[in-house]
Amino acid sequence: MKLSLAITLFLAFLFQIFLLPLYQIGPAGPDFVLLLLLYVARHDRLRRSLPLALFSGLLADALSMDPWGAHAAAYAGAVLFLGQWARDGWRGERGARIVTAAAGALVAGALRLGVLSLVKDSRPLFEMTALASCALYNGFLSLIVFGLLDPFRSRLFVVPARLLTVTSS
């Protein structure tokens, strides 16, 4: 992992911890770490983005009051889902940013709710409403976050060395 990606992930955690009340609308709040991980899943290989998602999820579980593994399962599931989707050809389309980020947030929220429902009492209607509003919020916020990260894409990711190919004349 490049140092610039580690610094960006650290800044996303700081935004998530300290600036979340400023951006929260009702039960919907942005997940800056998830948005960064979804951006990484869109533009990097799955074998690099999945361990980053697991590590970030475990770190988020350590910093929050949620049960151990809730964020890790959510982030890893969303990155796996979006990484597959990006490889299938959704990476280049501009309109797909909202759809893929909202779908990734929906997958992450559903996995997190599934883990939380195993250990806590749950209110399904409220949690499903919060899940849908968070997915929409993260989907629209992805336009801003992905747009801010796009100019720095070459600094965030390791560019794989190209293999030499022999062409016949």
In the chain, the number of structural domains is: 1
Structural domain contains residue 12:
yes
Residue 162 lies in a domain: no
Whether 51 is in a domain gets the answer yes
pLDDT digits (tens, 9 = 90+) for 122-143: 676 677 777 788 888 888 888 8
Inside any domain, residue 163: no
Give a yes or no: residue 97 inside a domain.
Answer: yes
For residues 91 and 42, the answer to whether their CB atoms sit within 8 Å is yes
User: Model confidence over 40-88: pLDDT tens digits?
Assistant: 888 888 888 899 999 999 998 888 877 788 888 888 988 988 888 777 7
Helices marked H in the chain — which ranges?
A: 3-18, 20-23, 32-43, 46-63, 70-85, 96-119, 124-149, 153-156
Does 89 reside within a domain? yes
What's the length of the chain? 169
What local confidence, expressed as pLDDT, does residue 51 receive? 92
What is the rounded distance in angstroms from the CA atom of residue 140 to the CA atom of residue 98? 6
Q: What is the CATH number of the domain that holds 107?
A: 1.10.1760
Confirm if 27 and 133 have CB atoms less than 8 A apart.
Answer: yes
State the DSSP code for 91: S
Full residue range of the structural domain in which residue 142 is found:
3-156
What band does 1 get if pLDDT is binned at 50, 70 and 90?
Answer: low
Assess if residue 23 is contained within a domain. Answer: yes
